[in-house]
Structure 1
Amino acid sequence: MKLLFICSRNKWRSLTAEKIFEQYGMYDVRSAGTEENARIKVTAGHIGWADKIFVMEKKHEQRLKSRFHQEVNGKCLIRLDIPDEYLFMDEDLIELLKARVSEYIEVPD
């Protein structure tokens, strides 16, 4: 299963999610950001590639639907509601990501 994690700049939240979930080996994982200055900026190719798309906030969901209307149509788009108040690999962020994502995919112990 191909998982795509999206935040604003792809430096903290979505990059942390990528690093955490790629360790499990059962998922192909990528991450990207919605802003111009993102480390990796989300493209239509990312959207087309993904089986499940996890966004951190409502604004990310809105940006994807606005910029990639056709590509996101019919895609599994999930909002995690994780605010931009964590640093890369923050322990609290890791626990929150695992808890929220486990509602949608298998997260090994």
Structure 2
Amino acid sequence: MFAAWPGVETASAGLAPDADEPCTDELVEWADIVFVMERTHRAKLQRRFRKSLKRARVVCLDIPDDYAFMQPELVALLEKKVGPHLRSLPRRERA
């Protein structure tokens, strides 16, 4: 959803065992910031990837994880809660 933001590289992954794209140590190590929907997700992420989370900042959005994929209400909440964090990121130089 945020892949088109200038200067931002995104990836999406899940913590559930049946996630289409499971979260990995490599992905967590790559990230500058990791967004999670719920506090339980943050706790699970921190337990599972403690060693890989040395650099990334974890932000809990406090959004219940009970929306359908790209449901308009979810999209609006994500734009409202994630947008300010992305706007405050330093711009990376592009090669």
Q: Fold conserved (TM > 0.5)?
A: yes
- Which residue of structure 2 lines up, in the alignment, with residue 64 of structure 1? 45
Alignment of 1:35-50 (within 5 A): 35-50=16-31
Please state how far the C-alpha of 1:85 moved relative to its aligned partner.
Answer: 2.2
Mapped partners of 2:53, 2:81: distance in 1: 21
Q: Secondary structure at the match of 1:84?
A: coil
Structure 1: which 5+ residue stretches go unaligned? 1-19
Mapped partners of 1:65, 1:98: distance in 2: 24
Matched, 1:55 2:36: yes
**Number of paired residues?**
88
Please state how far the C-alpha of 1:89 moved relative to its aligned partner.
Answer: 1.3
Matched, 1:94 2:82: no
Q: Secondary structure at the match of 1:66?
A: helix
**Which letter does structure 1 place at the counterpart of 2:22?**
K
1:2-30, Cα deviation, whole Å (9 max, x unpaired): xxxxxxxxxxxxxxxxxx20122421110
Please state how far the C-alpha of 1:88 moved relative to its aligned partner.
Answer: 1.3
Higher strand share: 1
RMSD: 1.5
**Which letter does structure 1 place at the counterpart of 2:81?**
R
Equivalent in 40, 60, 65 of residue 84 of structure 1: 65
- Detail structure 1 runs of 4+ shifted over 4 Å in the superposition: none
Which protein is bigger by CA-based radius of gyration? 2
Q: Percent identity?
A: 33
Mapped partners of 1:24, 1:69: distance in 2: 28
Q: If the length of structure 1 is used for normalisation, what is the TM-score?
A: 0.74
Mapped partners of 2:41, 2:11: distance in 1: 16
